[in-house]
Each structure stands twice: as structure tokens, then as C-alpha cells.
């Protein structure tokens, strides 16, 4: 059986790399003394996997890891038990007993929603015009490399949270992961000059049998 944990990461902790976050959770899991499963062999390690890790420096309200179990703990206390062991900046939000046959988070993630915060009120007409385009090809920089791409095929929806905040759902699958900073560069190329002073990931999604996006935490019985 497998548990899927949803967690948030904020503050100075966001500047810790993914491998260190993974090692950190390995220690937290051992301290909780739950009956987690280990690999066999000379150097056994936890059967632990993470879904689509973020770049260093980005906050998240919706990161996930899967943990295989030998037996289930008291699920009514699992979230609080983890958070008693966590440092400030990392908080476990929920734990899901995954249904049988569910793929791990890395394999099943299809999209992610990012929340962008801007200095001034958004020009909703102009932004709707941008997202209404059938195609938008431009040169952008990613990891010190210049790329040329049509990004509209990787943008699924947008929603105004308030006058200065915008949510955008993008492709986050193995076939094409659209980074949030590329969207900011696209705004600038389109002539949207309102400065974005920060963004964070809100959640990650997979698809159900109907092709609808559903949160990674919803594939089983959820405890929070």
C-alpha cells in the first residue's frame, strides 16, 4: 500500500535543493516511527518518490511524495505527527491512501497551477487577449539557453484571483513542462509591462477517465 503526502514549502527553506529536501523527509519519516517499506539488499532505503520537483527558490503549496508502507499508521494523526517533526518552512497538508493501481506522482502528473502576484492592478482585457491567442511563438531563456517555442499548446487555463493575482494552469508532464518564468517572459514579449514580483506553485494534477484534471491528492482516501 502507498501513502501520498501533500506538503507546502515556504520561506528560506525554498533555497534548499531537491536532494536535501528528500534527505530531510527521510529523517522525518524515521522519526515518526511509522512502518514504512524499505528496499532489500546491502543498503536498504525507503521506497520514497517525489512528483516533479521545483527549481530552487520557488514556494509551493502543492508538492507531493509517495511512500510505500508495510502497514498503515493511525491516519487521523498522521499529518500532525509529521508536522511535529518538521521545521518551519515545511508543512504537511494531507495524506492520501492511494487506490490500487494508481501510478506514482512523477508518472501521473499532467499539469500544475502557478499563482503570479503583480505590483499593479492587472489589465484583464489585455491578459484575456494574450491567453486567447491560438499561437504565441517567441524566443526565451531557460537555464542559460535560448529556445524558440509556441507556448500556447502548454497553457490550459487562467483565472483571476483578485485585481493583482493570476492563476495559470500549464503542462507539467514528462512530454512538456512549461516553467512559470517562461510565462512571465511571454507577458513581456506581448507587451504586458506590469511587473510580476513573485509566483508559487499551488497544486499539481493528473487526469481521470474523462480527461478532466484532478488533484494528485484525490486518488484515494484523504486525511488532513
State the Cα–Cα distance between residues 151 and 128, nearest whole angstrom. 15
Task: Quote the pTM value.
Answer: 0.91
Is the torsion defined by CA of 74, 75, 77, 79 positive or negative? positive
Quick one: 82 and 32 in the same domain? yes
As a residue count, the chain comes to 224
**Cα–Cα–Cα angle for 130, 131, 136, rounded to 5 degrees:** 70
Please report the pLDDT score of residue 2 as a whole number: 95
State the Cα–Cα distance between residues 169 and 172, nearest whole angstrom. 9
- Taking only the tens place, the pLDDT of each residue in 29-59 is 999 999 999 998 888 889 999 998 888 999 9
Residues paired with residue 113 on neighbouring β-strands, in sequence order: 169, 203
Enumerate the H helices of 119-224 as residue ranges: 124-131, 180-190
Quick one: 68 and 155 in the same domain? no
Please report the pLDDT score of residue 6 as a whole number: 97
pLDDT at 110 over 90: yes
Task: Give percent of the chain with pLDDT exceeding 90.
Answer: 80
Please report the pLDDT score of residue 138 as a whole number: 86
Backbone angles phi, psi at 128, to 5 degrees: -60, -35
Q: If you average pLDDT over residues 50-79, what whole number do you get?
A: 93
How many domains in the chain? 2
Quick one: 36 and 104 in the same domain? yes
Are the CB atoms for 117 and 186 separated by under 8 Å? no
State the Cα–Cα distance between residues 192 and 126, nearest whole angstrom. 8
Please report the pLDDT score of residue 157 as a whole number: 96
Residue span of the structural domain in which 34 resides: 2-108+214-223
Quick one: 71 and 38 in the same domain? yes
pLDDT at 147 over 90: no
Average pLDDT, the chain: 93
Please report the pLDDT score of residue 3 as a whole number: 96
Amino acid at each position: 500500500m502507498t501513502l501520498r503526502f501533500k506538503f507546502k514549502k515556504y520561506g528560506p527553506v525554498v533555497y534548499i535543493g531537491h536532494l536535501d529536501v528528500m534527505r530531510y523527509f527521510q529523517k522525518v519519516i524515521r522519526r515518526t516511527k511509522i512502518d514504512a517499506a524499505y528496499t532489500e539488499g546491502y543498503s536498504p532505503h525507503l521506497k520514497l518518490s517525489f512528483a516533479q520537483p521545483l527549481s530552487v527558490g520557488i514556494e509551493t503549496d502543492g508538492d507531493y511524495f509517495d511512500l510505500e508502507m508495510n502497514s498503515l499508521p493511525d491516519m487521523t494523526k498522521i499529518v500532525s505527527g509529521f508536522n511535529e517533526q518538521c521545521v518551519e518552512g515545511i508543512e504537511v497538508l494531507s495524506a492520501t491512501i492511494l487506490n490500487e493501481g494508481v501510478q506514482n506522482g512523477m508518472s501521473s502528473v499532467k499539469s500544475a497551477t502557478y499563482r503570479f502576484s503583480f505590483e499593479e492592478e492587472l489589465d484583464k482585457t489585455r491578459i484575456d487577449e494574450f491567453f486567447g491567442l491560438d499561437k504565441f511563438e517567441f524566443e526565451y531563456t531557460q537555464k542559460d539557453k535560448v529556445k524558440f517555442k509556441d507556448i500556447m499548446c502548454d497553457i490550459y487555463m487562467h483565472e483571476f484571483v483578485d485585481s493583482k493575482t493570476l492563476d495559470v494552469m500549464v503542462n507539467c508532464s514528462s512530454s512538456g513542462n512549461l516553467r512559470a518564468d517562461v510565462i512571465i517572459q511571454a507577458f513581456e514579449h506581448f507587451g504586458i509591462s506590469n511587473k510580476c514580483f513573485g509566483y508559487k506553485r499551488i497544486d499539481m494534477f493528473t487526469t481521470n477517465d474523462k480527461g478532466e484534471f484532478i488533484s494528485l491528492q484525490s486518488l484515494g482516501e484523504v486525511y488532513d
